[in-house]
Structure 1
Amino acid sequence: MNKPLVIWDAGHGGSDTGAHAFGTKEKDWTLEAALYLHNRSKELGIPTHIVREKDITLEALPRTTIVKNSGATFCISCHFNAFNSQAKGVETIYSIFKGSHDSKGLAEKIAYAISNEGMDFRRVFSRQGTNDFDYYYMHRMTGKVETVIVEFGFIDNEGDYDKLRFKEFRIKLYEATLRAFCEHTGNLYQLPNSSIDVLDEYYKVQIFAGSLSGAEKVAQEAENKGFETFIVKEKK
């Protein structure tokens, strides 16, 4: 394999679900993000690699070994946040050590690009751990690969989730990430070859309200026809 410019990391996976709220598991959306960004990078002719392509468990050492051995210049580690249901917005995290390719600048570009697509801007930061090392193992254990952790939003925050639950909106955030990456690295960015319906406004369609068993039956019928569904519990 030729050395990639970037390796995309889908955070968590397998037995490690990551954050979870409103029936959503972080590991599923991170895999969606990394696969999308990897495939779009190939479409743009950017040398690219990916840490995992399916739902498998990867502990810290094997995950970071894949990144380190890839020979990539950059790693973008995809995540969705959770805290106390009150925090919201996009965060990006860079190493405490100054890299030769300005990973702080890349983290800033990505965060602002995602914010411009409709997510609140929360912060861009680094975090020091013990013994003057990085706090996050994705920074600490990936060798010379300059890693930026991207937290697209908080899935346990109702406001963030109301946006993120729409795949079209998540795609906008992935595209913003790729566009910022291309700007930072000097690669040509172009819109996807395939048409993606990206909307500025979203509307809800409710087709059932009743018992849990009834909701599950209707949801399954809708999913069998290709629709994404979710079940919300509300007070009468």
Structure 2
Amino acid sequence: MANMSTRKNKNRRQIIFAALCLASLAAISLAEDWNVVRPNNRPYVSFANVAQFYQFPEYTRVSRTVSLRSEHRTIRAQAGTSEISINGVRFLTHFPLLNGSNEDLISVMDVSKIIEPVLRPSRIQKAEKIETVVLDPGHGGFDNGASSRWGSEKTFTLDVALAARRELMRAGYRVEMTRATDTAVSLEERVNIANRFPRAVFVSIHFNSSSGGVGVESFALAPEGVTSNMSSEHHVSAADVARHAGNIQDEHNIALTASIHAMVLSRLAAFDRGVKHARFHVLRDVKIPAVLVEGGFISDASEGQRIATSYYRQRLGTAIAQGIQNYNAAVNYRTLGANFAVAKVNLPPHSRSISEPLGAESRDHPPSISISGGN
């Protein structure tokens, strides 16, 4: 018995040693596969490196513009700017794109917090099947929000939320509203309502008003260490880069935001102001995936008149509902089975994490969350 115990202990030590060796080899492989550089002491990788990892067969670099293409996916970017286009949808990056000596560069933060969850939502950790949607029509009661001669923001946001609720309930979702009538609800109470529900997402609906402004934009919570695109309307200082409660959902937030934004663009044919990042109160303290949608400018003569029509608001509500369903299907792709008819865009033929070596093999083709059009 003693000899048998000795042999078992020896075998166990050998297995542990082998596992440690494999871990060391993986770390070496990672260091070789991702060529991280540090301009201004911030980690960046080249777009060529991104193309290699995500297996884009076409990569071109002309002047300061890069293009990554496959049959169904595209990424376009220009060094010196702070935005990229993924499948035709505009994203404002967390840090500027840089022009290196031989390559154009994108920050590791932007690869991990934008490109990865948008291209491969089914790999987002701890994603749950969505059962409840919390809709938050902005303003209400004594708070009119933005106003124009065509109407007030509080009225338009409620109408859009009610349209989205009808679509979501038809699809089998439970829908909760922070307000269902013209009543005032504090920002704190809106957050409290959202945080009551597990397996849920939160969608705050607003309209813009600014001289010369036009188009739709959507906001996810800015990750820790990233400055905000906004600094007004119940918003903390743009200099705030601290971590907030909602940052635990960073990858879920950007995937949900991208899915809804893409569907809104598809349904409304609106000007794309981009997927952005901010620290609005209702984003930073909500502990479920959250997005704030700005559905257009009521201050613009042409867009304001369209927003004032029931037709526009119904289509916006329907687009928001469909975007939520697309997100739910994409992040739960493996558990929902092979009959995936919502998202039409396939991902690279491998299923490894962004932090794992390049050129990994895959067993499936999960969908992209950034859907450029269709249902």
Query: TM-score over 0.5 for the alignment?
Result: yes
- State the percentage of identical aligned residues: 23
Per-residue deviation, 1:55 = 0.7
Q: Aligned to 2:283, which of 127, 133, 139?
A: 139
Aligned-partner SS, 1:76:
strand
Higher strand fraction (1 or 2): 2
Per-residue deviation, 1:9 = 0.6
Asked if the contact 2:140/2:154 (under 8 Å) is kept, the reply is yes
Per-residue deviation, 1:170 = 1.8
* C-alpha separation in 1, matches of 2:132 and 2:300: 34
Structure 1 residue aligned with 2:326: 183
- The residue type paired with residue 153 of structure 1 is G
Does residue 81 (structure 1) correspond to residue 208 (structure 2)? The answer is yes
Q: Aligned to 2:255, which of 100, 105, 129?
A: 105
Worse-superposed segment, 98-107 or 15-24:
98-107
Structure 1 residue aligned with 2:110: none
Does residue 50 (structure 1) correspond to residue 177 (structure 2)? The answer is yes
Q: Aligned to 1:126, which of 261, 277, 290?
A: 277
* C-alpha separation in 2, matches of 1:115 and 1:76: 16
Does residue 154 (structure 1) correspond to residue 297 (structure 2)? The answer is yes
Greater Rg by CA: 2
Asked if the contact 1:95/1:148 (under 8 Å) is kept, the reply is yes
* Gap regions ≥5 residues in structure 2: 1-129, 223-246, 331-339, 343-375
Per-residue deviation, 1:62 = 1.6
Number of residue equivalences: 179
Does residue 17 (structure 1) correspond to residue 168 (structure 2)? The answer is no
Worse-superposed segment, 65-74 or 86-95:
65-74
Per-residue deviation, 1:71 = 3.1
Which structure 2 residues correspond to residues 197-212 of structure 1 after superposition, within 5 A?
none
CA RMSD of aligned residues (A): 2.2
- The residue type paired with residue 145 of structure 2 is G
* C-alpha separation in 2, matches of 1:189 and 1:51: 31
Does residue 69 (structure 1) correspond to residue 196 (structure 2)? The answer is yes
TM-score (norm 2): 0.45
* Gap regions ≥5 residues in structure 1: 128-134, 191-236
C-alpha distance after superposition, 1:65-123 (max 9, x if no partner): 11112335210111111122x11101100012362662212212222221222211111
Cα gap change, 1:189/1:75 in structure 2, threshold over 3 Å: closer, same or farther?
farther
Per-residue deviation, 1:35 = 1.6
Asked if the contact 2:201/2:289 (under 8 Å) is kept, the reply is yes
* C-alpha separation in 2, matches of 1:176 and 1:35: 13
Off by >4 Å, runs of 4+ in structure 1:
187-190
